[in-house]
Amino acid sequence: MENFNFYSPTFFAFGKERENECGELVTRFGGRKVLIHYGGGSVIRTGLLDRVRASLEKASIPYIELGGVKPNPRSGLVYEGIELCKKEAVDFILAVGGGSVIDSAKAIAAGTLYDGDFWDFYEGKAAITKALPVGTVLTISAAGSEGSPDSVITKEEGMLKRGAGSDFLRPKFSVLNPALTQTLPAYQTACGITDIIAHLYERYLTNTKDVEVTDRMIEALILAMITEGPKVVSNPDDYEARANIMWAGMMAHNNSCGVGRSQDWTSHGIEHELSALYDCAHGAGLAVTMPAVFTYNMKHDVMRFAQIAVRVWGCQMDFANPCNTAKAGIEALRSFLISIGMPKNFKELGADEADIERLAHTCCYGDGSGSGTIGGFTPLSQSDVEAIYRLML
Ligand code: NZQ
Ligand code: ZN
């Protein structure tokens, strides 16, 4: 195991009706003037926004609002939010929604206390050294942003989707009420489950030896997704299954399963180009990307793929030819994702073969700031990435 730092200070308020405690939680973490940030309207339709407002009012906390965050959140609204927070002297941001809303809130939080262009953080030109405190009320189990130090934003100019990370972006508190996810369409639920599984695979694919504890934690969480996932896709009101998935989504990405080991993140790098260009759901993009990446990278460490195939997917170990076991594990993952309603190829995702060269180039070089290779498991060049996109056809 490698040396590591792990700082995860988020307070989690988990369970039914906990959103009614927002006012107390904001007070507890020092907020005196709040920006409520939300998405395209689900929180209005479900009545959640009204409950959050009422809770702040009960605690006598003044607030302003900025809605309209789109899935794959854009830089334009972040600039608007930064201006608003400065003008209105906001000192706490409350994100009510999914990963997109939370990521947008984190970008505004860092940008408000920065003199330059907030995009500097996403291009790697500047490090985040301070941010306004952020709280969250999560409405979809997926991105893990409710416990993570990360934020992913798409810059409209060039549709460049990039991430920034800092412990300053970890939420001060997150309200996790599984019942809030019961209004999700089955497709979005399945996209979330896929993203959770992807966060676990990105950490499982490591070059660090002897990381049995985190290996076993990852395996346990994927196994739970395999049993709980189909329950909520077929029965949206299954509170207990939703509760398990919600906590797994947080555990999968606050990095408790990723400490002390190298990580991969190839599938995310390749997928982010797809959701930037085609505006598909991140989880749907990952469902198509992961099997292709794993097939391409399998030879780098066949035994790692064979291990997860046996321990998680219940495949028989073929000692004479472990490649067969590794492949069977990847096929089992693919079949599972299709069974919960995820797309299986480029076409179903709405992607176009003619864009492959451009996608691979942006993936490796960005707008000039990229290094030319991606991936922590095995470095991949533009031609490797092109080959992976072709496997998705
Ligand atoms: O905008 P509204 O109307 O709220 O609708 C949303 C949106 O259309 C809807 N939705 C959310 N909760 C709902 C609901 N509809 C009905 N009932 C509810 N309870 O679902 C749609 C998707 O929401 P979104 O926030 O985009 O989903 P998700 O949480 O999957 O976030 C995706 C974004 O997170 C980034 C992705 O790249 C993508 O941009 N990621 C962020 C990470 C992080 N910060 O740590 C890590 C991830 O790997 C990921 O890259
Ligand atoms: Zn993800």
- Check residue 195 and give its pLDDT: 98
Contact (CB, 8 A) for 338 and 349: no
Does the Cβ of 183 fall within 6 Å of ligand 1?
A: yes
Measured N-to-C along each axis, helices 282-297 and 322-339 cross at an angle, to the nearest 10 degrees, of 170
Mean pLDDT, range 253-272, rounded to an integer? 98
Residues, CB within 5 angstroms of ligand 2 (ion):
195
Q: What is the pLDDT of residue 280?
A: 96
78-82 mean pLDDT: 98
* Closest-approaching ligand to the CA atom of 281: 1
Interval between CA 86 and ligand 2 midpoint (Å): 30
The answer to whether 72 and 116 are in contact (CB under 8 A) is no
Report pLDDT for 193.
98
Q: Which residue lies with its CA nearest to atom 49 of ligand 1?
A: 143
The finding on whether 103 has its CB within 6 A of some atom of ligand 1 is yes
Mutate to test the pocket of ligand 1, among 180, 282, 289, 363 (most ligand atoms within 8 A of CB): 282
Q: What average pLDDT does this structure show over 287-300? A: 98
Residue 369 pLDDT grade (very low, low, confident, very high; cuts 50, 70, 90):
confident
Q: Indicate the pLDDT class of residue 74, thresholds 50, 70 and 90.
A: very high
Residue 103: per-residue pLDDT = 98
- Residue 46 CA to ligand 1 centre (angstroms): 16
Q: Is the CB of 180 within 6 Å of ligand 1?
A: yes
State which amino acid sits at residue 168.
Answer: F
Summarize the confidence of residues 26-47 as an average pLDDT: 98
From 48, 49, 152, give the residue whose CB has the most ligand 1 atoms within 8 Å, as the site to mutate. Answer: 152
Any ligand 1 atom below 6 A from CB of 100 = yes
Domain ranges of the chain: 11-180, 186-391
User: Is residue 75 within 8 Å of 121, Cβ to Cβ?
Assistant: no
Three-class SS of residue 134? strand
Asked whether the predicted pLDDT for residue 164 surpasses 80, the reply is: yes
CB of 150 sitting under 6 A from ligand 1 = yes
pLDDT of 116:
97
**What are the tokens at 130?**
């301070």
Atom of ligand 1 nearest to the CA of 151: 44
What is the reported pLDDT for 370? 81
Question: Each residue of 92-114: pLDDT tens digit?
Answer: 999 999 999 999 999 999 999 99
Q: Residue 366 pLDDT more than 90?
A: no
Structure-block tokens of residue 295: 């097939």
At residue 46, the 3 state secondary structure works out as coil
Q: Is the CB of 139 under 6 A from ligand 1?
A: yes
State the Cα–Cα distance between residues 189 and 185, nearest whole angstrom.
6
Is the per-residue pLDDT at 171 higher than 90? yes
Q: How confident is the model at residue 16 (pLDDT cuts 50, 70, 90)?
A: very high
* Confidence check: pLDDT of 167 > 90: yes
| Residue 195 parent element (H or E) | helix 186-204
What topology is assigned to 11-180 in CATH?
Rossmann fold (3.40.50)
What is the per-residue pLDDT for 367? 76
pTM for the predicted model, two decimal places: 0.98
pLDDT range class, residue 231, cuts 50, 70, 90: very high
Provide the percentage of residues in the chain whose pLDDT is more than 90.
98
Considering the four listed CATH numbers 1.10.3720.10, 1.20.1090.10, 1.10.260.30, 3.90.740.10, the one that applies to the domain covering 186-391 is 1.20.1090.10
Residue 84, pLDDT score: 98
Query: What is the C-alpha to C-alpha distance for residues 108 and 367, in angstroms, rounded to an integer?
Result: 22
**The tokens of 75 are what?**
């830089």
Q: Which amino acid is at 137?
A: V
pLDDT at position 359: 97
pLDDT at 39 > cutoff 90: yes
